[in-house]
Structures are given as C-alpha cells and as structure tokens.
C-alpha cells in the first residue's frame, strides 16, 4: 500500500519527457537522424491518448449539440485565404539574431538567450535590431518555381471554416446562431520551439467557430467560456492547475476584439492551452472582400441581412495532452523504501483500459480468451512475461487503470483478480462479469 508521504507532482519536465520516450507516448520525429526541432511523433500509447481526447472533444462540441456542425478541410487552401485573414501581413514574431553565435531568439523572450554561447564568459549580447519574422510555413504547388505557385501550410485550422461557411450553413440547413468545428494539423515556423510539445512547429488544433447575431456577442462569449472550462475540468485535471486569464488590449491577436486564455500550471509555469476569442466580423468581412462573395445571412428573428460575428474556441490538442500527462504523473513512495511511477489518467482517456496478466505462461490459453473478449470493446494489453510486480509497474507507468490477473485458482472458481491502478486495491471478480464491471468504471465520467 502507498505510504502516507504525499505523491510527488511532476517537477522536472525531463522526467516526463523520458517516460514518454521510454514508454512510447511521444518522442522526437525522425529520431534516427537526430530528430528535427519542433516536430514530435506519438507512439502506440500517445496516439491512443490523443485520439481519446479528440473523440471527447468531438462528442462534446459537435455530436451533443444541435447547433454545431463538423468539418474536415484541406491543410493547404487558396493562398488568397491567408492574405484575407491577415496572416501574410500580421502573423509574425519580432526576432533578433545574436551576431556572435548566430542563433535566433524571439525579441519578447530574451530569457532564452541564456542558451546563447556568446554569453559564456561575458554578460554582453550582440543582438541585431528586432525584425519581424512571418510564422507561416510555405510550400510550392505544381512544377512551376514561379511565385504564383507558392502556398502556405495552414497556420490555424479555422480559416477554412470561414471560407466554407456559406456552403456548410446551406447543406446543414442551419440558421444563426450556429457553429462549425474541426480538428486538424496546423503549422507555424516557431522561432524557438520548446518545452517538449508545448511549442511545436506542427501541432493539432480543435477549433469551433460560432456565428451569431451581433446582439448575441456577450452572451455567446460567456457561454463558450463556461463550456470550455467545464470540458477541461471534466478531463480530470486538478482544478487548482487550471485558470482563465483575459488578454490585455496590447496582446490581442490581429483578429481578436476580446480573448480569454484557459491556462494550465505546467512545471514551467502557467501557460495557455486554449483561447476563447471574439473575432467580431473580421474574418467574414475580409473573405467577403477578397473573394467578392456576399457572406451575409438573413437573421431568422429580425429578417435583416447581417454579417455574423464569430466567437471562437481554439484548443491545442498536443498542449492538452501534455497537460494531461503532467497532471497525471506522480511518483509514489511505497512501504519498504520502494517507489512507483504512475500516470493517474482518467480511465476514459487512458490509452489502455486494462491489461490481462496470466500468472504463468501455462495459463496463456484461458487468459488470452479473456483478452480477446475485452479487445472487442477496448484497447487492452496482454502480458505474460516476467514477474507480476514488474508487470503491474509497467501498466502503472502507462496509466492503465485496471489489471486482470488470471491465476491457478481462476481455473477452478472462474474468477480473476482485478487490481486498481491508483489505490492498488485488489478484488476477485467472475470472468463473465468483467466486461460489465469494466464498462461501469470506464464510462463513469465519460
Ligand atoms: N484560431 C485561433 C488560434 O489559432 P492561437 O491562440 O494562436 O489561436 C490556439 O492558438 C491554440 O493552439 C493555443 O491555445 C495552443 O493550445 C495551440 N497552439 C498554438 N501554437 C502552438 C504551437 N506552436 N505548438 C503547440 N500548440 C500550439
């Protein structure tokens, strides 16, 4: 049993980074070539965690609502999109170069310059004047090298929601107010990717744009802020590590009239995981202007033609996964001086729901039968190698909420031992009741 010493919350990101690599949650992309800065791969456990999170978001934001429609748009869209959106002109960070070490830093984050080798032996930096550096990643389409073929990898997923707004509204027969949501990859040529996946160059966003009559602006902003905070709390994150922070006027993005960040307390400080933005009619009016199409709609109440205002919720999938992992990570001191690392993930989000562990390889056949049965319902694991204590520890580290041990008595009494990850309590359970027993526990908070 766990000793009375309190669990240790994650203090050093290195401990999580190493667990994630060791257990295959997340590791550097192109590892065999030394990695590539700002790009990460999700391994077998990571992809399950991420998919569970995305499915939860889709369920809450799209499926459980009558007023939000789904979309999956292309990553590359017409380059005019990014002129209209203001990204070509405004989406940049001020950066400086160190003349001595040739490294580049964000001018607003010069704390990073501690990594500058020119600092050694001297506290003086020889920086260039700040210059604006556009964060959009470019590519070329077709065989032509001419400027006309330049395109951008989307810097936010929502722009296609605005350009597809009219069609989606018509096909879904929606009236104001309503929203369009999508999950997908976004790309930013971040100057200093850092803090593991927190600031990456390729990442996933789950965005929802809610179109409303200008008179509904305050009400819908408040509604979505509430909804989104409820969502984060429901993920099982410690509420003491969550807060909202309104943006100051001078930090608002070029499209935003009002913004509130949802922040999580990472080991490296309070940082944004989601933004709720009042984008006004910026996007629809600009796309209307650049495309020459009328994007106004008839308001069902007043019958007047209006250009809807947009309330946006934009959450980083990778940042939320990182918050879940940081929050779940703990090291517990056990009796006898032993310790264990455990990921206390919400069972509904955990990559593996259960592990079937026969006490001996001789019990493989019946244990595998149980495993096959569970596999029809969930992502489960089978492990018959090595000492049972070590097998439990491996599952603790993977965040698997339940282990089912098939032992020699199981043959006679038709029961297995179910061991719960957090309290490490064990009970005997009839094999035929395992599916129902697990379902009750996995769906408790889903
Ligand atoms: N459409 C609005 C928008 O893109 P944002 O605040 O720039 O707003 C929204 O980004 C969310 O996307 C952030 O809260 C964050 O979770 C995630 N995000 C942004 N840049 C990121 C990066 N470089 N790496 C990982 N996630 C990022």
Cβ 262 vs Cβ 88: under 8 Å:
no
Cβ 91 vs Cβ 135: under 8 Å:
yes
The pLDDT tens digits of the residues spanning 260-272 come to: 999 999 999 999 9
Reduce the DSSP state of residue 333 to 3 states and report it.
strand
pLDDT tops 90 at residue 7 = no
Between strands 26-28 and 202-212, the pairing is: unpaired
Our answer on whether the CB atom of 40 is closer than 6 Å to any ligand 1 atom is: no
Cβ 116 vs Cβ 105: under 8 Å:
yes
Residue 121's pLDDT band (cuts 50, 70, 90): very low
Crossing angle of the two packed helices 317-328 and 13-23, in degrees rounded to 10: 100
What CATH number should be reported for the domain whose range is 8-86+136-326?
A: 3.30.930.10
Cβ 279 vs Cβ 161: under 8 Å:
no
Cβ 186 vs Cβ 199: under 8 Å:
no
Cβ 266 vs Cβ 327: under 8 Å:
no
Q: Give the per-residue pLDDT at 123.
A: 53
pLDDT tops 50 at residue 83 = yes
Phi, psi values for residue 399, rounded to 5°: 85, 15
The DSSP string of 85-151 is: TTHHHH-EEEEEEBTTT--EEEGGGGGGGGG-GGGTT-S---BPPPEEEE-PPEEE-SS--SGGGEE
> Domains of the chain: which residue ranges?
8-86+136-326, 93-134, 352-442
pLDDT tops 80 at residue 146 = no
Reduce the DSSP state of residue 44 to 3 states and report it.
helix
Q: Which of 34-43, 248-257, 339-348, 358-367 has the lowest mean pLDDT?
A: 248-257
Closest CA to 307 of 318, 322, 323, 296: 296
Q: Which of 37-41, 131-135, 262-266 has the lowest mean pLDDT?
A: 131-135
Highest mean pLDDT: which of 37-46, 136-145, 333-342? 37-46
CA dihedral for 381, 383, 388, 391, sign (positive or negative) = negative
Structure tokens at 302: 């007043």
- Gap between the Cα atoms of 423 and 2, Å rounded: 8
Q: Which of 19-33, 36-50, 112-126, 314-328 has the lowest mean pLDDT?
A: 112-126
Cβ 421 vs Cβ 400: under 8 Å:
yes
Cα(372) to centroid(ligand 1), Å: 40
Cα(9) to centroid(ligand 1), Å: 26
Q: Give the per-residue pLDDT at 157.
A: 98
Mean pLDDT value across residues 245-267: 94
How much is the mean pLDDT over the chain?
A: 93
Query: What is the percent of the chain where pLDDT is above 70?
Result: 94
Q: Give the per-residue pLDDT at 328.
A: 97
Mean pLDDT value across residues 355-379: 98
Cα separation values, 56 from 182, 333, 438, 443, Å: 13, 33, 19, 12
Predicted structure pTM score = 0.93
Q: Give the per-residue pLDDT at 1.
A: 42
Our answer on whether the CB atom of 275 is closer than 6 Å to any ligand 1 atom is: yes
Our answer on whether the CB atom of 184 is closer than 6 Å to any ligand 1 atom is: no
Q: Give the per-residue pLDDT at 118.
A: 47
Among protein residues, the one whose CA lies closest to atom 21 of ligand 1:
199
Our answer on whether the CB atom of 200 is closer than 6 Å to any ligand 1 atom is: yes
Q: Which of 24-28, 105-109, 354-358 has the lowest mean pLDDT?
A: 105-109
Q: Give the per-residue pLDDT at 103.
A: 84
Our answer on whether the CB atom of 57 is closer than 6 Å to any ligand 1 atom is: no
Q: Give the per-residue pLDDT at 122.
A: 47
Q: Give the per-residue pLDDT at 2.
A: 43
pLDDT tops 50 at residue 169 = yes
Report the nearest atom of ligand 1 relative to the CA of 320: 16
The pLDDT tens digits of the residues spanning 157-167 come to: 999 999 999 99
- Please state the separation of Cα 384 from the chain's center in Å: 33
Distant-in-sequence, close-in-space partners of 103: CB < 8 Å, separation ≥ 6: 97, 115, 116, 117
Cα separation values, 166 from 87, 238, 306, Å: 22, 40, 13
Closest CA to 424 of 340, 360, 347: 340
Q: Give the per-residue pLDDT at 113.
A: 60
Mean pLDDT value across residues 115-121: 49
Tell me if the domain spanning 352-442 has CATH number 1.25.40.20: no
Our answer on whether the CB atom of 158 is closer than 6 Å to any ligand 1 atom is: yes
- Gap between the Cα atoms of 288 and 190, Å rounded: 30
């Amino acid at each position: 049993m766990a000793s009375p010493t309190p669990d240790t919350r994650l203090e050093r990101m290195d401990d999580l980074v190493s667990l994630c690599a060791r257990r295959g949650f997340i590791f550097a992309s192109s590892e065999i070539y030394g990695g590539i800065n700002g790009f990460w791969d999700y391994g077998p456990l990571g992809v399950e965690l991420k998919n569970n999170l995305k499915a939860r978001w889709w369920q809450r934001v799209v499926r459980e609502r009558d007023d939000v429609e789904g979309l999956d748009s292309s990553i590359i869209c017409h380059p005019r999109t990014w002129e209209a959106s203001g990204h070509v002109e405004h989406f940049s960070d001020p950066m400086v170069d160190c003349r001595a070490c040739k490294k580049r830093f964000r001018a607003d984050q010069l704390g990073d310059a501690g990594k500058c080798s020119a600092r050694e032996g001297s506290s003086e930096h020889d920086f260039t004047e700040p210059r604006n550096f556009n964060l959009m990643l470019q590519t070329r389409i077709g065989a032509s090298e001419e400027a006309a073929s330049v395109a951008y990898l989307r810097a936010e997923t929502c722009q296609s929601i605005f350009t597809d707004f009219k069609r989606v509204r018509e096909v879904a027969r929606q009236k104001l107010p309503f929203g369009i949501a999508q999950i997908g990859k976004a790309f930013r040529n971040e100057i200093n990717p850092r803090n593991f996946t927190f600031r990456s160059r390729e990442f996933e966003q789950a965005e929802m744009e809610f179109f409303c009559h200008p008179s509904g602006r305050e009400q819908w902003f408040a509604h979505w802020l509430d909804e989104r905070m409820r969502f984060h709390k429901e993920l099982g994150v410690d509420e003491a590590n969550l807060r909202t922070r309104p943006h100051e006027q001078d930090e608002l993005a070029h499209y935003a009239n009002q913004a509130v960040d949802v922040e999580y307390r990472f080991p490296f400080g309070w940082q944004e995981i989601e933004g709720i933005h009042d984008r006004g009619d910026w996007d629809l009016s600009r796309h209307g202007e650049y495309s020459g199409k009328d994007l106004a709609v008839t308001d069902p109440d007043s019958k007047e033609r209006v250009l809807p205002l947009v309330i946006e919720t934009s959450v980083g999938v990778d940042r939320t996964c990182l918050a879940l992992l940081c929050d779940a990570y703990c090291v517990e001191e056990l009796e006898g001086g032993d310790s264990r690392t455990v990921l206390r993930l919400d069972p509904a989000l955990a990559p593996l729901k259960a592990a079937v562990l026969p006490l001996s390889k001789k019990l493989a056949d019946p244990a595998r039968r149980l495993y096959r049965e569970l596999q029809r319902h969930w992502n489960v694991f089978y492990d018959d190698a090595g000492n049972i204590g070590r097998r439990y520890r491996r599952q603790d580290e993977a965040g698997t909420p339940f282990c089912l041990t098939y032992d020699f008595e199981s043959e006679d009494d038709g029961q297995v031992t179910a061991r719960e990850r957090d309290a490490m309590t064990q009970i005997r359970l009839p094999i035929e009741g395992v599916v129902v027993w697990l379902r009750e526990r996995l769906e408790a908070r889903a």
